């Protein structure tokens, strides 16, 4: 694993990478956009194939959130190209071929994987199923690691991007399983008051019906 694995709130490291769409430099290539970088263990493997199809089927939804996708594994670029071709030729959803439109990084030297901490020796020499969500300023906002035997929930990754964007715009937090939370439904959480006056004002706002509160520290509202 790399010595300087990027952490939450840190700048995504500058990396020149070779992809199925040509050579690019991250994170500058996606400057002004969010992007999701996700690694997969290997091309031409069953679980990874289902994940790539899942990402592509939701690609338009990511793009609606000003978010791009980019895959990665330690395979060579020709392997990526043939695998993407195989998916298009053999996988059909509702009668339509699935065409992978986002780039895939060919990290055949393992340099990028080492930099990002994608090789976990106890789980083998292939990349684990990692996810980095990066904002338009190139800051790492979320990191997920999955074992090779467990495919990702792509809808959860989409939910995370949407939630982070709403949080940034409105200064709020997202409850468990938002927007289908058992307690507050589709409401968002208002950050707890930081002093006594703010706590009192929070409760007054609740009485006026401007927000809803269980107590001064647990308030929520509909956007």
Active site residues: 48
Structure tokens at 106: 């060919």
Q: How far is CA 96 from CA 59, 63, 69, in A?
A: 15, 20, 21
Question: Phi and psi dihedrals of 134, rounded to 5?
Answer: -125, 135
CA 85 – CA 98 distance, rounded (Å): 10
Pick from 139, 55, 159: which is nearest to 98 by CA?
55
**CB contact set of 144 (below 8 Å; sequence gap of 6+):** 130, 131, 152, 157
């Amino acid at each position: 694993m790399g010595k300087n694995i990027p952490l939450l709130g840190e700048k995504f490291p500058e990396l020149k990478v070779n992809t199925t769409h040509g050579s690019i430099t991250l994170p500058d290539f996606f400057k002004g956009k969010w992007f999701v970088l996700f690694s997969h263990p290997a091309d031409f493997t069953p679980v990874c194939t289902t994940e790539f199809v899942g990402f592509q089927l939701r690609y338009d939804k990511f793009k609606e959130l000003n978010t791009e996708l980019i895959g990665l594994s330690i395979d060579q670029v020709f392997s990526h190209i043939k695998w993407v071709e195989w998916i298009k030729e053999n996988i059909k959803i509702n009668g339509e071929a699935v065409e992978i439109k986002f780039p895939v990084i060919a990290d055949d030297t393992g340099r990028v994987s080492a930099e990002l901490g994608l090789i976990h020796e106890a789980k083998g020499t292939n990349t684990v199923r990692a996810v980095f969500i990066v904002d338009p300023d190139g800051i790492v906002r979320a990191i997920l690691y999955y074992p090779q035997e467990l495919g990702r929930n792509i809808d959860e990754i989409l939910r995370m991007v949407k939630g982070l964007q709403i949080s940034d715009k409105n200064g709020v937090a997202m409850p468990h399983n938002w927007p289908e939370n058992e307690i507050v439904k589709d409401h968002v959480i208002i950050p707890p008051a930081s002093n006594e006056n703010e706590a009192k004002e929070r409760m007054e706002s609740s009485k006026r019906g401007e927000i809803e509160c269980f107590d001064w520290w647990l308030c929520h509202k509909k956007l």
